[in-house]
C-alpha cells in the first residue's frame, strides 16, 4: 500500500503490528522486503519509535547475526543461484551493495554454504532489481516483465537448477514469469534450503 502511494491506509495495520508483536524479543520475517518495510517505514508512519518494528529482523539476519549459526546438519546437493533482493541488500544490509566501495560480504551466502552438498552461484549484475516492486509490477507491466526476464536469464546462465533468496515477493514475481515463459528453472526459499533434509 505504501509503495503504491497509500501509506495512509496502513496506519491501523502499523498500530496493530506493534500491538500484536510487542511482547516478543525478536520478530522474524521470512521475506526481506517485508522486514525492511516494517523496520524502516513503520516508525516513520507512526511518527514515533515502534517497539515491535525495532525488534523485527529478516530470517537471514536472525540466523547470521543473532543466533550466529556456524554449522547446519542440512543437506541440499544442488546448484543454486542466489537472488540478492534490493531491500535485502540496500535496506537490511544482507550483502554489500555493488554500488558502494565497502568490503565485500554476503550473509545469505555465508549461511547457504553451511549446507552440505550445495553449490552457490551469483548471477552477473548480482544485485540488479528483478522488477517486482509491489504495485510497480502491475503499473509498469512492460518494464517489470522485461526486468524479470533479464534477471531470470542471468540466473539461468549460472547453470543453477534453483533460484533462491530470502525475499518471497521477488521469487513469486520471477516464478510467475518463468511459468508463463515455460523456463526450466525451479524456485526455493532460503529457509527451505537451510532446513532441507532435517
Q: Could you list the residues that contact another protein (CB under 8 A)?
A: 1-10, 12-13, 16, 30, 86-87, 90-91, 97-102, 125, 127-129, 131-148, 150, 172-173, 175-177, 179-180
What number of other Cβ atoms are within 10 A of residue 3's Cβ? 13
* Whole-number Å distance between alpha carbons of 37 and 40: 5
Minimum Å gap between C-beta 70 and another protein is 24
Q: Toward another protein, which CB reaches closer, 48 or 146?
A: 146
Minimum Å gap between C-beta 160 and another protein is 20
What is each CA distance from 53 to 15, 107, 139, 147, in whole angstroms? Answer: 10, 21, 29, 31
- Among candidates 63, 57, 67, 119, which has minimal Cα distance to 88? 57
Q: Toward another protein, which CB reaches closer, 70 or 99?
A: 99
Quick check: 9 and 45 in contact, CB under 8 A?
Answer: no
Minimum Å gap between C-beta 86 and another protein is 4
* Whole-number Å distance between alpha carbons of 155 and 161: 9
Minimum Å gap between C-beta 150 and another protein is 7
Q: Toward another protein, which CB reaches closer, 1 or 67?
A: 1
The three grid cell numbers given for residue 194, joined into one nine-digit string: 537451510
Q: Toward another protein, which CB reaches closer, 119 or 134?
A: 134
Amino acid at each position: 500500500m505504501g509503495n503504491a502511494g497509500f501509506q495512509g491506509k496502513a496506519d491501523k495495520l502499523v498500530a496493530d503490528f506493534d500491538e500484536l508483536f510487542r511482547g516478543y524479543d525478536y520478530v522474524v520475517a521470512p521475506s526481506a522486503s517485508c522486514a525492511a518495510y516494517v523496520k524502516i517505514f513503520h516508525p516513520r508512519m507512526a511518527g514515533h519509535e515502534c517497539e515491535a518494528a525495532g525488534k523485527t529482523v529478516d530470517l537471514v539476519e536472525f540466523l547470521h547475526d543473532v543466533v550466529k549459526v556456524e554449522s547446519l546438519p542440512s543437506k541440499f546437493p544442488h546448484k543454486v543461484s542466489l537472488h540478492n533482493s534490493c531491500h535485502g541488500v540496500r535496506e537490511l544490509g544482507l550483502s554489500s551493495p555493488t554500488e558502494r566501495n565497502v568490503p565485500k560480504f554476503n550473509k545469505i551466502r555465508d549461511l547457504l554454504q553451511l549446507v552440505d552438498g550445495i553449490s552457490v552461484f551469483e548471477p552477473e549484475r548480482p544485485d540488479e532489481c528483478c522488477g517486482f516492486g509491489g504495485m510497480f509490477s502491475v503499473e509498469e507491466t512492460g518494464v517489470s516483465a522485461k526486468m524479470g526476464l533479464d534477471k531470470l536469464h542471468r540466473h539461468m546462465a549460472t547453470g543453477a537448477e534453483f533460484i533462491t533468496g530470502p525475499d518471497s515477493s521477488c521469487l513469486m514475481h520471477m516464478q510467475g514469469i518463468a511459468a508463463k515463459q515455460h523456463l526450466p528453472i525451479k524456485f526455493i526459499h532460503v529457509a527451505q534450503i537451510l532446513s532441507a533434509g532435517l
